[in-house]
Amino acid sequence: MANKTLVIAEKPSVAQDIVRAMTPSSGKFEKHDEHFENDTYVVTSAVGHLVEIEAPEQYDVKRGKWSFAHLPVIPPHFDLKPVDKTKSRLNAVVKLAKRKDVGQLINACDAGREGELIFRLIEQYAGGAKSLGKPVQRLWLQSMTPQAIRDGFAHLRSDAQMQPLADAARCRSEADWLVGINGTRAMTAFNSRDGGFFLTTVGRVQTPTLSVVVEREELIRAFVSRDYWEIHATFAAQAGSYPAKWFDPAWKKDADDAEKRADRVWRQSEAQAIADAVR
């Protein structure tokens, strides 16, 4: 009889928090190698991503050649494969999901797009060619206190409510794959056109981030030091003295020169004239 609910968290520490929070209301859990279990729940966890999109060579061997002639690589569908270093954990989670006494699943991965994707890919991989056919609910946690966890279980979200987030997560994942595979192969083919093999990786996040670093490095290398002057003074008042700095009241930001500031004077004679005027 399928009377148990499988709860899949994103990491082991969260699974343990769930077990501690739910023990008073659902009964004591028995600890196993890869999960906790009582009469109502089976609680397990991933360790981040357990499943990834299959490499392009699996679709078409010819597309494995890194040349412009075989681009773009756009597979008719995306297959999944286990992440090598966490394959044993994936097998354990899949085995639990397929148990006949497990009638429904609860996605307890982190509240966000990536947590949604981690669970959805595990569910898809476990089902294989066909769906697991077991209803899914979402545990959405913004806090890991025991009371917040119990409140989350009392207000589980439906699978339909989470579908837009799941679609966004899948689009991001597949777009990253397409940009990474095609961009990397195109840039590598371009940089290797005169012979040799010059791997040039491209990524949706990696490449813009690298661009920011390169632009900053170019600014640093192009920087030429210049002398400037500041005018400081000490003023006396009835309550005592206080330090002050001169600022140009007519200063305006120069988009072409970030070093120009309201408190900087670029000629010594001008700085001296200002200092003399306020003595």
For 62-113, the pLDDT digits (tens) are 555 688 888 888 888 888 999 999 999 999 999 999 999 999 999 999 999 9
**Phi, psi dihedral angles at 5 (to 5 degrees):** -115, 125
| Residue bearing tokens 């500031």 | 261
Q: What is the rounded distance in angstroms from the CA atom of residue 202 to the CA atom of residue 179?
A: 7
Per-residue pLDDT reduced to its tens digit, 154-205: 999 999 999 999 999 999 999 999 999 899 999 999 999 888 889 999 999 9
* Global pTM value: 0.76
Instruction: Please give the average per-residue pLDDT across 3-9, as a whole number.
Output: 97
Residue type for position 262? A
Indicate the Cα dihedral angle 124, 129, 134, 135, nearest 10°: 50
Indicate the Cα dihedral angle 244, 249, 254, 255, nearest 10°: 90
- Quote the pLDDT of residue 61: 45
Show the domains of the chain with their CATH numbers. Answer: 4-182 (3.40.50.140), 232-277 (no CATH)
DSSP conformation class of 111: S
Lowest mean pLDDT among 22-31, 58-67, 176-185, 245-254: 58-67
- Mean pLDDT, the chain, whole residue set: 92
Question: Is residue 268's pLDDT more than 80?
Answer: yes
Percent of the chain with pLDDT over 70: 96
Indicate the Cα dihedral angle 163, 80, 86, 167, nearest 10°: -20
H-helix or E-strand spanning residue 181? helix 159-191
